Amino acid sequence: MNHPQRAAVFTSDAERTTWHDETLWFVRQKRDKAVYAIPEFQQLRQLASDIKEHTLSRLDEYLEQFERNAQANGVQVHWAADAAEHNRIVLGIMRGVGATSLVKSKSMLTEECHLNPFLVQNGIAVVDTDLGERIVQLREEAPSHLVLPAIHLKKEDVGETFHLHLGTPKGEKDPQALTEAARLHLREKFLVGQVAITGVNFAIAETGAVVVCTNEGNADLGVNLAQVHIACMGLEKLIPRTADLGVFTRLLARSATGQPVTTYTSHFAKPAPGRQIHIVIVDNGRTRQLGRPDFRASLKCIRCGACMNTCPVYRRSGGHSYDFTVPGPIGAILSPNIDLHQHSSLPFASTLCGSCTDVCPVKIDIHTQLYKWRQLIAQANELPAAKKWGMKLLSSVLARPGVYRFGGKVAREGLRLLPHGLTHATAFNPWAKARELPEAPKQSFREWFEQQSSIPTGQA
């Protein structure tokens, strides 16, 4: 299935679509309120973009500086070229300390690498501790949003899942009660977790520290109770200075949920005595994206999710319709770098309205990149045949005014003279499923204008 097909399934439940759209629009509105309250917000976006751009332009130096400082802090740094190597490294660390259980706070990178199934196959018990992540983990689903992993679910769905797995009373759907049940269930897991994995929001080159932002406190709780902390990061998470965090912490939560800052902004640099910190730096296609001038700006992403909250298509098609770790507009420009063929419908899952670009806190030109991926997809012959040949024909007609005039007239006359049932047959014309075609007039503008020109001026 491609995006339009999955989206059609999603929208066929009209009520749920309304709910999904309105819930995420509400998040977008909270974001707006937070943004309007900061007069320098647009300057902050520019600063964030400039800092990220600069970092990318000297990324090798910053990576080496970061590694040096992290090692001086007593941290072990690992490098993984791809997902498989990342997963092997993590398993190796676990085996090295004889651990069989793992608590994990949110990390899109480990989702991207499909770490969980790999570890489970190798006999490791993995518990996602972010509430939303835990919900989808219990349901054996993928997260449907970067920061709101279970946003596709209603409280009844969560109630049912918790009834099955955590033994909450059947029919319990109060978010407060369900969250309390998860708190108690997950506390047990925290207390026995031998190894804790976290993602990384920012890695600071000048100190070797990694910064993790959460609302629930699950990252800190997991890490600070476990013997070993493994922080997994894409190599684009680097920023040069601690002071740069001033810019990013002001943007991240406001853009994501409209909060002024996340509840916990945690800076991990040195392991506590007797404990270990490992940092795994992952490439997995990122250096390739860095080499694409039109698309490298996508590496500035700080995974705030604002582009999906604002995207009118995402809100009405759901995160799973993208069938990629990162859904929404940003996913649609990251995924073709990973597999152009498999994800060729994603850059077309947009009207190019540009709202994503306007909310993005690091000013990624998302909709321009969508447009550019479309060109590459067409060149790589990945367009559906009807689209491709239709466009070739159209272009050749539009470069020849005579043929064009004739074709337009035929279309209009056809629409005017053919019966409604034929012109609106949805098998041939998807337009007509929910919409009427324009009413065809007797005369085109061109014909009108030609008549006018034969009348003396001033009479038009």
Partner 1 sequence: MSSSRESILAAVRANRPPATALPPVADFGGEASVERFTEWLHFIGGQVVRLAPDQPLEDAVQQLFPKAVRIASNLLPATVPVNGQTTTEVLEAVDLAVLQGELGVAENGAVWVPEANMLHRALPMITQHLALVLDHRHIVATMHHAYAAVQHTGAYGVFIAGPSKTADIEQSLVIGAHGARSLVVLLR
Partner 2 sequence: MRNGQQTPMKVGLFIPCYVDQFYPQLGIATYQLLEKLGVRADFPRQQTCCGQPMANTGCEQDAKPVYRHFARTFAGYDYVVAPSGSCVYHVRKHYDVVEQTPEVQRVRQSTYDLFDFITSVLGVTELPGRFPHKVGLHLSCHGQRGLHQANESEMTPVRDGQLSRLLRSVDGLALTELNRNDECCGFGGTFCITEEAVSARMGQDRVQDHLQNGTEVLTGGDMSCLMHLEGIVRRRQLPMRVLHAAEIFNAALAQPSKPVSTFVPGAVVAL
Nearest distance in Å: CB 357, ligand SF4:
9
Count of residues near partner 1 by CB under 8 A = 96
Nearest distance in Å: CB 317, partner 2:
5
Long-range CB pairs of 374-380 (<8 Å, 24+ gap) are 374/347, 374/348, 376/336, 376/340, 377/336, 377/340, 377/344, 377/347, 380/340, 380/341
| Residue found under tokens 């009844």 | 156
Nearest distance in Å: CB 271, partner 1:
8
Quick one: which of 33, 68, 95, 288 contacts partner 1 (CB under 8 A)?
288
- Residue 344 or residue 355: which is nearer to ligand SF4 going by CB? 355
Alpha helices (runs of H) in 206-280, residue ranges in sequence order: 218-225, 245-256
Range 311-370, binding partner 2 (CB under 8 A): 312-313, 316-317, 348-355, 357-359
**Residues ≥6 apart with Cβ < 8 Å to 267:** 204, 209, 210, 211
- Residue 136 or residue 307: which is nearer to partner 1 going by CB? 136
Nearest distance in Å: CB 301, ligand SF4:
3
Range 42-71, binding partner 1 (CB under 8 A): 43-44, 47, 50-51, 53-60, 63-64
Nearest distance in Å: CB 454, partner 2:
14
Range 18-77, binding partner 2 (CB under 8 A): 21, 25, 32, 35-36, 42
Quick one: which of 303, 320, 367, 374 contacts ligand SF4 (CB under 6 A)?
303
Range 345-374, binding partner 1 (CB under 8 A): none
Cβ distance 317 to 331 under 8 Å?
no
Range 220-239, binding partner 1 (CB under 8 A): 220-221, 223-225, 235
Virtual torsion, Cα 189, 195, 199, 201, nearest 10 deg: 100
Site string for partner 2, 272-301 (x = CB under 8 A): ------------------------------
Distance CA 221, CA 353 (A): 41
User: Cβ-count burial of 264 within 10 angstroms (0-12 exposed, 13-18 middle, 19+ buried)?
Assistant: middle
Cβ distance 212 to 219 under 8 Å?
yes
